[in-house]
A and B are shown apart, each in its own frame.
Chain A
């Protein structure tokens, strides 16, 4: 108990408490009408109430499916292209300039094109999530894989590891810290992008719930999906953090 309530934690909770207090104050003292800024207690009880309803759970599931599908594809593509570019100068020569052009491109601008090509369903949203989460994962992987200590590779080769095996037995595990850092950034991005895509055009999902509430000026219901996506982000980040400390248990400063 003493550890949980350390000064650092208290200090960290302070601004969040302050904001909630300010929020409550604004409403209580009549600076903001409750229609525009519902009191925090009301918002949180609404959140709890919503979380147990079937319809809201379905929105969450729809969002999560897109998020995971897009993120998973981004991880697979990002890691394999990143490792390939680090391993082969020929692939590097092709991938590097393409990445240089595509990485700073605002992916969300592609969304209309994706809608035209893939329709308004899951496909376009998943593709957008992948497009956005891909580059941090790819760049991180490439960086990690191209800075693997030469002598680790030599040690493995001397022990009789073939060149193709080196990729899986040395380069990939050695690049794991960098890969997971990229995944962490990619995951947050996935949360953000899936929500935005659902806001711009969708028939379900958390982003859609926000837009529906906005159309009918239901301020409370606008806060609920936002808080939900923030909580989802925190939970997923914590899960990834746990996976990270398990996978990197041998690495210093992990």
Chain B
């Protein structure tokens, strides 16, 4: 049973979605611009895209690359971040490099990597991998750094080796922070995926978007935007569920993912 307050809280994002669509609908009716379809028109175009076999294959291929890039990035970045957090020299070694790489748009490496590896899946997956890595490394680093020294001392006193301490103490203690990083990384994976496809313009969801734009199929453009947006919101909501389950013991967190391209 949910209390009325909890019910309102659950319903609020749905109401917000409806509200935003309503604002769009009204704005498009007022502006009466040929290249700005109404929300209803865009929504009506969604089944066409999802029903089209080629589009669907394209989108699924995009998602596969995204999943692969995300998974590999997480598997490599978490141990690296934890090591950096617990060892000054490892941190000193990697920090400046990461600082230099941070403001470089990862998707902008597409053209260069394309030169070497071609336009195929590997290039796009690699770019997604790069995009996801940084926030996950950063948050794992911060999480591991904040682990209380005394916890590790008691671990050492119980006879845990340094490697065991990293896995049995640092990892669980830093988990809330790591998962925050993964959440940001997940949204980033989606964004990098779309952007890389917009730049490579060969296949995938980003490509459908810009092809439709070039061909003047504005309904499709906006329908694709809704689809991609819904993906972002759904991934985030699902991940949030998982996160809440994994770290039930930790303080409820406020922060939402800091999504960016």
Binding site for B on A (CB under 8 A): 7-9, 11-16, 19, 32, 36-37, 93, 96-113, 115-117, 132-133, 135-136, 139, 143, 185, 188-189, 191-193, 195-196, 199-200, 207, 210-211, 213-214, 217, 219, 222-223, 226, 229-230, 232-234, 237
Is the C-beta of B199 less than 8 angstroms from some C-beta in chain A?
Answer: yes
Q: Which residues of A are found within 8 Å of B212, using beta-carbon distances?
A: 112
Q: Is there an interface contact between B13 and A104, defined as CB atoms closer than 8 Å?
A: no
- Whole-angstrom distance between the Cβ of A43 and the nearest chain B Cβ: 11
Is the C-beta of B153 less than 8 angstroms from some C-beta in chain A?
Answer: no
The count of chain B contact residues (Cβ–Cβ below 8 Å) is 64
Q: Which residues of B are found within 8 Å of A99, using beta-carbon distances?
A: 256
- Whole-angstrom distance between the Cβ of B87 and the nearest chain A Cβ: 11
Q: Is there an interface contact between B13 and A113, defined as CB atoms closer than 8 Å?
A: no
- Whole-angstrom distance between the Cβ of A187 and the nearest chain B Cβ: 8
Q: Is there an interface contact between A196 and B103, defined as CB atoms closer than 8 Å?
A: no
Interface of A, secondary structure class, is helix
Q: Is there an interface contact between A11 and B93, defined as CB atoms closer than 8 Å?
A: yes
Q: Is there an interface contact between B104 and A230, defined as CB atoms closer than 8 Å?
A: yes
How far, in angstroms, from A232 to B261 measured CA to CA in the complex? 18
Is the C-beta of B198 less than 8 angstroms from some C-beta in chain A?
Answer: yes
CB closest residue in chain A, given B105: A192
Is the C-beta of B254 less than 8 angstroms from some C-beta in chain A?
Answer: yes
Q: Which residues of A are found within 8 Å of B95, using beta-carbon distances?
A: 12
Is the C-beta of B59 less than 8 angstroms from some C-beta in chain A?
Answer: no
A105-B232 in contact given A112-B213, A116-B35, A233-B103 (Cβ < 8 Å): yes
How far, in angstroms, from A4 to B233 measured CA to CA in the complex? 46
- Whole-angstrom distance between the Cβ of B14 and the nearest chain A Cβ: 8
